[in-house]
Amino acid sequence: MSRALNLNAPQEHVLNTCAKHSAAITHIETLVSGGTRVVLQNAESAAIIGRAYKGKVITGVVERTPSRLMHVSW
């Protein structure tokens, strides 16, 4: 199982849920297409959070904000 989840929930709610379940976050970001992408430290934590958000897991393609600027060669 992947450690990354795309959830149809606000980032603050995801942070609170992860804290409640003692699930350590590696990376979290708000998705441009709506919702939150969270990467957990291990697959077990990802499974726990996935079950907590069972009906709110986004499947398919999501639009993310680039985390690095692309280098353009002139």
Does residue 67 sit within a domain? Answer: no
Number of structural domains the chain divides into? 1
pTM: 0.83
pLDDT value at residue 66? 72
Burial 46-72 (b: 16+ CB within 10 A, else e): bebbbebbeebbbeeeeeeeeeeeeee
Does residue 61 sit within a domain? Answer: no
Does residue 14 sit within a domain? Answer: yes
Predicted confidence pLDDT, tens digits, the chain (74 residues): 689 999 999 999 999 999 999 999 999 999 998 999 999 999 999 999 999 999 999 998 888 877 666 566 65
Does residue 64 sit within a domain? Answer: no
Does residue 34 sit within a domain? Answer: yes
| Boundaries of domain holding 43 | 4-56
Does residue 20 sit within a domain? Answer: yes
Does residue 18 sit within a domain? Answer: yes
Does residue 10 sit within a domain? Answer: yes
